Structure 1
Amino acid sequence: MPDQLVEVTAPHMDPEEFRRAGHAVVDWIADYWATVGQRPVTPSDPPGTVAAALPTTPPTTGGEPVEAVLADLDAIVVPGLTHWQHPSFFGYFPANTSGPSVLGDLVSSGLGVQGMLWATSPASTELETVLMDWLAHLLDLPQRFRSTGTGGGVIQDSASSATLVATLAALHRASGGRWRDTGIDRRYRAYTSTHGHSSIEKAARIAGLGSDGTRAIDVDPDTQAMLPAALRAAIEADLAAGDVPAIVVATIGTTSTTAVDPVPEIGAICAEYGIWLHVDAAYAGAAAVCPELRWSHAGLEYADSYCFDPHKWLLTGFDCDAFWVADRAELIEALTVLPEFLRNAASDSGAVIDYRDWQVPLGRRFRALKLWFVLRWYGAEGLQAHIRSGVRLAERFADQVRADDRFELAAAHPFALVCFRLRADDDVNAALLASVNATGRVHLTHTRLAGRYTLRMAIGSPQTTATHIDDAWTLLATTAKDLLTP
């Protein structure tokens, strides 16, 4: 007989303890937001600093007060963060959050429901379906993406996952269903521009197309947008070689420059050859809440799938990618796997949506809540005001670049990203970026355009004002003077 187990009571947090600790945490977050603009944007400590400040083993006894945890958060963790919510964070793309989003996430975590099937949490599924239709209305997406027809939307974790799911559905179509049953039986190809996101190539690799399964299509040197003639030539060359074109990924707002691929022309080519068209608008899709920016979505009626990230520019915390398909049946056929333990009367009836069939993982959390909170707090007018503010600030910065003969704009800036560089060699431009970032006052990133080192100024924080833009420009201009002075 084994020794009798000693009964030990776990230190669960009861509702009243949670209430007290929760107030302390919310106060901490509010204080952080109120002071984040006074902090260095990026840390200056060397690698390993945070790890060295932490114990090497976990605590043996529990019940440590939340005040002690928050004290270590202040002393150890926060100094080692890059502050993505900082008003002078201009790197990559925005990763906005907001008060309503955080509150929605808190409720989602508190409920702790699993939304893999309608039956496992009916409200989770139905709220998400309605919210995706709301978003489609806000962006004026084609009717074919609405749940009231053959299409519908789902929240993925990221645009990377949306691209993977689209690729799998495209392979299902291109193979006539054989891909799902027998695996890769021919050489299938994916196509995107040379400025397409790295997740497109990764999706092709995961799907089994191999490292050479993605065709990088040349872009117009002036607009940085995909060349339709080059796409057609690549498709015809692959067909002649016996390969199967499966998916084209067009981008609205590329990562390097926010270039907009010519979706009408690309869509017509895809329709001609029967190729799945996925449109990746991860960053710039949010701009379509503003009617004057919907020109960027011309041709979307050709798309089989489309996605954008509310967690970039639409004040909804990561992770939240909005993904739509024109024909949900194709997606479900490609991805559904139904073990006995998931069978239930509601699913068998065909009257409900089971979002497990719209994604790679089985489990899914209640992401729709934070989006619901955001949409109800801001409304269409509030979201439009946020987008327009970013566009205006970007134009303000671009005007400052134009007015200084030492600098040049490197690409068009239709949204809130400005690409620019000194009229100097790559080493000087790299030194400029390193120097301004080292101050901790701003954070910018870079790309390469036509092989040339180019700085990126991505604007989007709800706390960013004209003062932050002007301060960033002053820092850049002063630093450039020091670098260019013999």
Structure 2
Amino acid sequence: MAGHMTPEEFRRYGRQVVDWIADYHERIASMPVLSQVKPGDVQDALPARPPEEGEGFEGVLADLERIVLPGVTHWQHPSFFAYFPSNTSGPAILGDLLSSGLGVQGMLWATSPACTEMETRVADWMVDLLGLPAAFRGNGVIQDSASSACLVALLAAVQRTGGSAARDGIDRRHTLYVSSQTHSSLEKAARITGIGSANVRVVDVDPGTLAMDPAHLDALLTEDAAAGAVPVMVCATVGTTSTTAVDPVPAIGEVCRGHGVWLHVDAAYAGVAAVCPEFRWVNDGLAEHADSYSTNPHKWLLTNFDCTLLWLADRAPMIEALSILPEYLRNQATTSGDVIDYRDWQIPLGRRFRALKLWSVIRWYGAEGLRAHIRAGARLADALASWIAADPAFEVRDHHPFGLVCFRPRWAGLAPDEADAATLALMERLNASGDLYLTHTRVGGRVLLRLAVGGPATEERHVRAAWDRIREEAARPTA
């Protein structure tokens, strides 16, 4: 029977694991970007029953290579251009290892003061690095994802509408305002909070920019209030998932102020770009209007998943909505009111020491290193857009301020539906090749390919190779 792993065994196997990860990053470019396994392959390769006796760690590493690796889509591959980047880096991995090694459960200040106080400080560092409003200082928290951040913001907004929602529930129709470009997590948040999908109001967008229309928002808010509804929250997006459209936060904020409605700004992908002064325009309107704001270092800022920052201009409604203190959690520090208990700032009770990995990243790269990474991604996206624009066989969407470029082939002689089918078929062939990985979206009913640049291993040669491969495949006759 295998006993607990001794410190000496941990040292031996730990070195092997670190070596394996380092080797993986060195050879990742030689692997197919998209996993080539078929449904069920990984599960079929795993034993149907767990071992009765411990098997040691050598077999774990062997099966990691034999079973797990073929079933991995390589998000850190230099030719991974799908979705948005989910960056990792050496400092982030080591910070996460330190978090796992400490094994901290940071639900209360008392359960590890360093877990809480480092998180507060690192969130304040990010306020400085991104040039965010001073009101956010001391009011930041790390969530697992933007989905959770939006849900927490919505719960706080519901609480602020009446002050007793957390205790008594929602007693009449409440409404949430999004656009067709808003992330789907907002509709899920409406379901979870009890607002309901049917009460998610979809605001018109400008057909060219895809930005939310403040005039239509104003009309919907007026209409709903007149009908007896309680408008709860408006979600504006800076850098939408589909095309990185940017909602006009200052104008939306004026509408929200006029109606007394909570404004949440979701900048999950694009917000970290503000580490560069030339991107600080993404913060326009936050200081004057935002009740809450979130962005994801785990997308474009070299910090491995999961790490989303949420700030609130006023934390009180959130804590009123989420704070429950059973006897077994009572302690002197909490009772004193002198500390933050982050359990009251999130949905679950338990929480990891996530601040360690973000702290490690900031300490390693410094502001200049982080700026260099963001600028590299934006520069490569600009280069790609210029190459596409110069090719008469393709068209590129004009709006590409960050690291995402949306484009499509001009399929001569094909009707719109046929052209869309051809574009999707092209994407499937490219992804199946293993050479690169793309996703798609629809704008105005038409299919566009999405190519998102921003991985730390991605260089101009990888983007150029992807573009050459796309052109080659698009020109190839198909049956």
TM surpasses 0.5: yes
1:332 touches 1:358 (CA, 8 Å); kept in 2?
A: yes
Residue of structure 1 in register with 2:467 after alignment? 473
Residue of structure 1 in register with 2:268 after alignment? 282
Question: Unmatched 5+ residue regions in structure 1?
Answer: 1-8
SS at match of 2:407: strand
Amino acid paired to 1:13: M
Cα deviation per residue 1:22-78 (whole Å; 9 max; x = unaligned)?
Answer: 00000000000000011000122211111111111001111x332221111111110
Q: CA deviation at 1:387?
A: 0.2
Give the whole-Å Cα distance in 1 for the aligned partners of 2:352 and 2:430: 40
Q: CA deviation at 1:10?
A: 5.4
Residue of structure 2 in register with 1:6 after alignment? none
Q: CA deviation at 1:178?
A: 2.1
Give the whole-Å Cα distance in 2 for the aligned partners of 1:108 and 1:10: 25
Give the whole-Å Cα distance in 2 for the aligned partners of 1:407 and 1:241: 48
Question: Unmatched 5+ residue regions in structure 2?
Answer: 412-418
Give the whole-Å Cα distance in 2 for the aligned partners of 1:43 and 1:258: 27
1:163 touches 1:200 (CA, 8 Å); kept in 2?
A: yes
Among 431, 434, 439, the residue aligned to 1:445:
439
Q: CA deviation at 1:351?
A: 0.5
Residue of structure 2 in register with 1:120 after alignment? 111
Among 88, 96, 99, the residue aligned to 2:87:
96
Residue of structure 2 in register with 1:371 after alignment? 358
Q: CA deviation at 1:329?
A: 1.5
Among 230, 251, 257, the residue aligned to 1:265:
251
Among 144, 152, 160, the residue aligned to 1:165:
152
1:428 lines up with 2:428 in the alignment = no
1:155 lines up with 2:142 in the alignment = yes
Among 36, 43, 48, the residue aligned to 1:51:
43
1:239 touches 1:245 (CA, 8 Å); kept in 2?
A: yes
Among 3, 6, 25, the residue aligned to 1:33:
25
Among 231, 240, 252, the residue aligned to 2:238:
252
Q: CA deviation at 1:217?
A: 1.0
Within 5 Å, which residues of 2 pair with 1:76-91?
76-91=67-82
RMSD: 1.1
Give the whole-Å Cα distance in 2 for the aligned partners of 1:345 and 1:69: 44
Residue of structure 2 in register with 1:3 after alignment? none
1:197 touches 1:255 (CA, 8 Å); kept in 2?
A: yes
Give the whole-Å Cα distance in 2 for the aligned partners of 1:125 and 1:164: 21
Residue of structure 2 in register with 1:333 after alignment? 320
SS at match of 2:155: helix
2:85 touches 2:453 (CA, 8 Å); kept in 1?
A: yes
1:430 touches 1:453 (CA, 8 Å); kept in 2?
A: yes
Residue of structure 2 in register with 1:133 after alignment? 124
Residue of structure 2 in register with 1:4 after alignment? none
1:257 touches 1:411 (CA, 8 Å); kept in 2?
A: no
Q: CA deviation at 1:222?
A: 1.1
Q: CA deviation at 1:481?
A: 0.8
Give the whole-Å Cα distance in 2 for the aligned partners of 1:85 and 1:358: 31
1:93 touches 1:458 (CA, 8 Å); kept in 2?
A: yes
1:411 touches 1:420 (CA, 8 Å); kept in 2?
A: no
SS at match of 1:82: coil
Q: CA deviation at 1:423?
A: 1.8
Residue of structure 1 in register with 2:414 after alignment? none
Give the whole-Å Cα distance in 2 for the aligned partners of 1:337 and 1:43: 44
1:205 lines up with 2:191 in the alignment = yes
Give the whole-Å Cα distance in 2 for the aligned partners of 1:25 and 1:138: 33
Give the whole-Å Cα distance in 2 for the aligned partners of 1:471 and 1:131: 38
Cα deviation per residue 1:143-170 (whole Å; 9 max; x = unaligned)?
Answer: 01111xxxx1000000000000000000
1:237 lines up with 2:213 in the alignment = no
Q: Which moved more, 1:161-170 or 1:417-426?
A: 417-426
1:221 lines up with 2:212 in the alignment = no
TM-score by length of 1: 0.96
Give the whole-Å Cα distance in 2 for the aligned partners of 1:144 and 1:196: 25
1:180 lines up with 2:174 in the alignment = no
Q: CA deviation at 1:411?
A: 4.4
Residue of structure 2 in register with 1:456 after alignment? 450
Amino acid paired to 2:62: A
2:2 touches 2:53 (CA, 8 Å); kept in 1?
A: no
Amino acid paired to 1:363: G
Give the whole-Å Cα distance in 2 for the aligned partners of 1:97 and 1:46: 27
1:108 lines up with 2:99 in the alignment = yes
Query: How many residues end up aligned between the 2 structures?
Result: 471
2:2 touches 2:56 (CA, 8 Å); kept in 1?
A: no
1:277 touches 1:304 (CA, 8 Å); kept in 2?
A: yes
SS at match of 2:177: strand
1:344 lines up with 2:335 in the alignment = no
Among 262, 273, 278, the residue aligned to 1:292:
278
1:91 touches 1:456 (CA, 8 Å); kept in 2?
A: yes
